[in-house]
Chains A and B, each alone.
Chain A
Amino acid sequence: MKEIINLPVSNIEEEEYHINMGPQHPSTHGVLRLLVSLQGEMVRSLKPHCGYIHRGIEKMCEKDTYPQVIHLTDRIDYLSAHINNHAVCLLVEKALEVDVPERVRYIRTIMDELARIQSHQLWWSSFGMDLGGLTCFFYGLRDREMILDIWEETTGSRFLQSYNCPGGVMQDIHPNFQKKVHAFLKTFKKKIKDYDRILSGNVIFENRSQGVGILSKEDAISYGVTGPSGRGSGWSCDVRKTEPYSMYGKVQFNEVLRYECDTYSRYMVRMQEMHESMNIIEQLIDNIPEGEHSAKMKAVIKLPAGEYFQRVESARGELGLFVVSDGNKTPYRMKFRTPSFSNLSVLDHISRGMKIADLVAIGASLDLVIPDIDR
């Protein structure tokens, strides 16, 4: 609090002044506050102030049982809720050495990829909106609706599904699931061409994003910028490839890498990832094996005393989950390594010397989800 009151006194000689972007600001997509120091329109430096939506999820986890923890992980990064659930389930199953049925692996992988697509769709929408193309926002949300409908039918919820549970999934997939996913893939393959037409190939967009916010591969590694943002700098950091879990070891897909290191390359990585995700779903959707939708688990789940770590590739990057268990039904300590937090840390470094408008574009290209930063 002291730091917030004692703002650095602006140096009149250098004509530097400060503005607060946020906590309520259209381009921060939530309650993130950036204290930006400017010279004219140029960003001299910026300081993120987090904690406006801190809910103490890590502490809350310490008094909740493992099945209850899953419901909290939805709220960390609400756009990749399935993937967060998946991480907890994988960790519990690894600790208890439970072998989940093949059907569950298929369903979880498909759900993860659907989550990735809808997250990237929403990212694309808001990216366009941040650059001033409001039409993009409606295109993205229109197509995202189909995925939400699929989820509503199978999981009973559109946004925070909590569909995974230790040992499997809550209930079996809806009979219409495969048909609807096929319909979605067919539609979206056409619609994604519109995305390219309205934004990717647009000369204004290319000028706004190319050469803006250069993040070198070394910086990406040292700041821990993972996910599509890191891969836009040419860092091969996809957990699905380096440590395959569920079905990722068995399906064919490419890790999208680009080497321009700028906003445009981070944009193109995400656009390409949507194609790759559709490719993964296509390989799995017709081959879901018959069987149980959940393994047999004890009524009370107790992890043996020890330390466990599990990481998964969420839509924003690497989600790490570290648990210390003392043998009780609740974890002794639970720590989330969330991708947005690390990605935010690089914002100051890459936006220095850029314009305010560039800062908005860079912030959008990092795809920050604020509850994921604050937890």
Chain B
Amino acid sequence: MTFNIYDFTSFNRWIDEGLNSFMSPTWALITEMAIIGIVFLLFYAVVGLFLVYAERKVCAFMQNRVGPNRVGPYGIFQTIADFIKLLMKELVYIKDSDKLLFNLAPFIVIIASFMALSAVPFAKGLHAIDFDIGILYVIAVSSLGVVGILLAGWSSNNKYSLIGAMRSGAQIVSYELSVGLSLLTIIVLAGTMQFSEIVEMQRNGWFIFKGHIPAIIAFIVFLVASTAETNRGPFDLAEAESELTAGFHTEYSGIKFAFFFLAEYMNMFLVASIAATVFWGGWMPFHVSGWAGFNTIMDYIPPFIWYIGKTAFIIWLMMLFKWTFPRLRIDQLLTLEWKYLLPINLVNILFMAFLVLMHWHF
């Protein structure tokens, strides 16, 4: 076995062959699924906890505060302590609430983000499922989350929750279009929906540089629309704490609340990952065609680091504008989507198609 941090393909093959050598192919497949599931769960928890910590530090930085700094060095164990607290809290059941849907809702939300994460390429070969319709799959699966939010609002037997859920429904259904169309712009350029191929195509230049202005417009639209889709500020109308106390998760406590909380951060991580993969080359190092020496040096940085760096940068951008802007109103939110982002997007796709037809892209 040759373990190589630049290419995980041989490592995967070694595990696969090793398992197949002493059990039947069916059992080997099931074992592989279990291993991947456990690895993803761990990854999910660690990234979620780290993102909560990062958000608190970025927010503190924006607000002239120190942020968590008591539990562990620089407060890095603060979120773990919070998580333990949430685990131990009592689960409050609401009178006259729909018990089944009330309990089901957080799982739907968390499963949706979990499933979408499986299509993201983290590095070469480090990829749970490599669909040939990867982007379509991610869009389809991630929009399941809204069902969970709607159920949470409906089953809580609380008017604030219901208003929050309805807002969220209108918002996510609308912004789904912009997310889809902005990704479609890049599909036009790439000619494929498979994530691994999209990344491979960016070997000699990321799409944001290759695609001229349409790619940049598509990236900005994607950033705005995906922030809205993940219910983050300035589009956090579904939980608008000054209007609806906490929106759809007002009545949730303990670990169920933690599920919503974690899912929000993982959705943010997911959209940042997709933005990084589709627009910024995913794990592909920064290459300039013709600069062989420079490209070799860039190749020495492991792909996983490239991927994490790009994702972290986009998450940081999203955090910055969450802590800067005030919240929109529901009608303004829908106006922004249907009257501005959607027409811009449609024109942008035409522009991109024209560019590809004329071979004007790099």
Contact = CB atoms under 8 A, between A and B. Distances in A.
A355 B331 contact: yes
Interface in A18-75: 19, 25-27, 41
Nearest to A355: B329
A17 interface: yes
A211 to B, nearest CB: 12
Nearest to A354: B329
Interface residues of B, number: 29
B329 A130 contact: no
A204 B233 CA distance: 12
A135 interface: yes
B240 A357 contact: yes
A199 B326 contact: yes
Contacts of B64: 138-139, 142
Chain A residues touching B, majority SS: helix
Contacts of A358: 329
Interface residues of A, number: 31
A25 B245 contact: yes
Given A27-B243, A357-B329, A135 B324 contact: yes
A199 B327 CA distance: 11
A130 B242 contact: yes
Interface in B49-72: 59, 62-65
Contacts of A199: 326
A202 interface: yes
Contacts of A207: 328-329, 332
Contacts of A136: 326
B326 A205 contact: yes
Contact of B327 (A17, A132, A137, A198): A132
B159 A132 contact: no
Given A130-B242, A198-B324, A208-B326, A356 B163 contact: yes
Contact of B243 (A133, A202, A356): A356
B326 A202 contact: yes
B323 A19 contact: no
Interface string B233-256: 110110011111100000000000
Given A138-B63, A356-B163, A26 B242 contact: yes
Given A138-B64, A204-B325, A41 B242 contact: no
A137 B159 CA distance: 28
A199 B324 CA distance: 9
Contacts of A27: 242-243
Chain B residues touching A, majority SS: loop
B329 A208 contact: yes
B314 interface: no
Interface in B162-180: 163, 167
A129 interface: yes
Contacts of B240: 132, 357
Contacts of A139: 63-64
B224 interface: no
A122 interface: no
A204 B322 CA distance: 13
Nearest to B331: A355
A204 B324 CA distance: 11
Contacts of B234: 132, 204
B160 interface: yes
A130 B245 CA distance: 11
Contacts of A208: 326-329, 332
Given A41-B330, A128-B326, A204-B234, A135 B242 contact: no
Given A19-B159, A208-B329, 20 more contacts: A27-B243, A41-B330, A131-B326, A132-B240, A133-B326, A134-B59, A135-B63, A135-B324, A138-B64, A199-B326, A202-B326, A207-B332, A208-B326, A208-B332, A355-B331, A356-B243, A357-B237, A357-B329, A360-B242, A360-B243
Interface of A: 17, 19, 25-27, 41, 128-139, 142, 198-199, 202, 204-205, 207-208, 355-358, 360
24 contacts: A19-B159, A19-B160, A25-B245, A41-B163, A41-B167, A128-B326, A130-B242, A131-B242, A131-B326, A132-B236, A133-B324, A134-B323, A137-B63, A138-B64, A198-B324, A204-B234, A204-B325, A207-B328, A208-B326, A208-B332, A356-B163, A356-B244, A357-B243, A357-B330
Interface of B: 59, 62-65, 159-160, 163, 167, 233-234, 236-237, 240-245, 323-332
**Across the A-B interface, the 6 shortest Cβ-Cβ residue pairs:** A132-B327, A138-B63, A133-B326, A131-B326, A27-B242, A357-B329
